[in-house]
Structure 1
Amino acid sequence: MSHTVTPAPPAGHPPSVAPGGAPAPGSPDRSGSAPPLRKRLRGAAAALRSPAVVALAPLTLVVGVFFVAPLAGMAIIAFTVEADDGGTALGLDHFLGLDSHVRAVRNSVLVSVVGSLTAALIGALTAFCIAQIRSKRLDSVVAVFSSVLANDGGAPLAFSFIVTLGNTGLVYGMLGLDAIGFSLYSWQGLVVMYQYFLIPTMVMVTLPTFVGLRKEWMEANTALGGSRTTFWRRVGIPIAMPALLGGWILLFGAAFATYASAAVLIGTGGFPLVPLSIASLLGSSLGAGGQSAAMALGVSMVVIAVVVLFLFNRLQKRSARWLQ
């Protein structure tokens, strides 16, 4: 029986390749390729050494320590209940025991709904009037000014309103607010104080939408025989409505979660709110029971915040689709 021997390739020449691209039998694999797992590990190590990952490391650390870890701890305490055998188990007992805080929830919803609706109406009208001027410089100035006011609050804001609209305030006597029974230390006073940062927030959110309404759309509507009312009913309002609803939802969440200004203005008693109730439970001598109830209220507020942000982002994307 005869055997065919394939001669070895000369030095410096690549190994012979069989038809189809595979190395010929007997030829050594000189590609030097590493196993797939080793390749992936090398790629991951290279990615971890990239400048982007190094730059994001401090931010990741801050988010993990001051956001993720407290949120996880709050959820664990809120859902951990005492079992019959003396141990612990997961349950909803702390959430079911929040009936005593129904008044705080009702007050927070009342202040948030009235305050956000008032600010949404005033802020949207203000943004619309500014957009009609069609000045890019004015739009930039208003955006910066609104951003500053929207993030201005806390104890200084409450003290400034006490000085001006308190029972002995300067403006309180000049406007004769005592004759109509207005009191800054009530839910109406909270609504008035919240307008300071809610209205600029609404202006900041809706101004780009009104600026983005193109003049060509109005001209096309006029050329087709439509009136100004027709334009706003069929074009302007449908395009601006997602931004308006998103702004109102954002204002509701901001008013619902406000703590410092309300704590300075009305304290922790008299008119309970959800943030004030959480602070009162954590600062009381109720022990673990009060802490667990506070964490349950905190988890409820986190759920509301997540829903608010989700709806706001969805509405903003829908509005931006027409304004690009």
Structure 2
Amino acid sequence: MSYTNPYRKRILVTGGAGFIGSHLCERLLQEGNEVICVDNFYTGSKRNIAHLLTNPYFEVIRHDVTFPLYVEVDEIYNLACPASPVHYQFDPVQTTKTSVHGAINMLGLAKRLKVKILQASTSEVYGDPSVHPQVEEYWGNVNPIGIRACYDEGKRCAETLFFDYHRQHKLQIKVARIFNTYGPNMHPNDGRVVSNFIVQALKGEDITVYGDGSQTRSFCYVSDLVSGLIKLMNTDPSITGPINLGNPGEFTILELAEKVIKLTGSKSKIIFKPLPQDDPKQRRPDISKAKEILHWQPAIPLEEGLKYTIDYFKKLFGEQ
């Protein structure tokens, strides 16, 4: 039974002003739900949700999930956590707290309300993988004391907590492992490869490729990813995940740089710098489970998604 009316679910999205969270809030509203967006605006942005503020079924709460939250809702999507190395390495202790204390607080809320909760986990739980492509059964190859561990191990611990709450308290959980996602609302200075390359290309700066550019990534457009999250949330209670969500199309970083230069018409040159510590050499999801269980697979090809993303950044820079 909904707290508002029997026909409109009330859904909490933590990290709702972030890149993925803002798209999720918008989609959930479009589907006729009431949405409470919770964000401390550390990496989230008000401009990502400004167009939603006039919707009477949208509410924003400035709150840090490392502290308990008391609201009445029907479902919880837990997306709160800085997700790019630039941001999560800036305050690594707070990053770990956000993943771990945030999970505990949101799981506690879900337990009290007896509602289902989805954890936005990450392909980073696989670390620098020795299995390729990555299947959900793979336990990963993570450096627990490296500079990325605050995020990698924080997310791994959050998964542990979700499954322990499920076993111990019979809580209905869903765990999605999100692979590289891109699209409008990305932070221009988040250090992620797609936004980095587009921003550098539009400004006519050298495009920075770390290593020799032969390392591979898979890039999922944000609307496809959001569809996968909603499909997972709406599965049978017996489906907990973890389920990989990402695009299995694999590209080298050098290929991505060349595509961005071509699509922007930029005169930027590609320069090479040393590979950062613990940077994965390969990253590609096996999405067999998502296809079979969720009947989901990405629909937007990389070139099309890059065009939408480039248009977003052009508009963003035009407003500045």
Specify if TM > 0.5. no
Greater fraction of residues in strand: 2
Greater fraction of residues in helix: 1
Point out which structure has higher relative CO (alpha carbons under 8 A, 6+ apart).
1
Question: Which has the greater radius of gyration?
Answer: 1
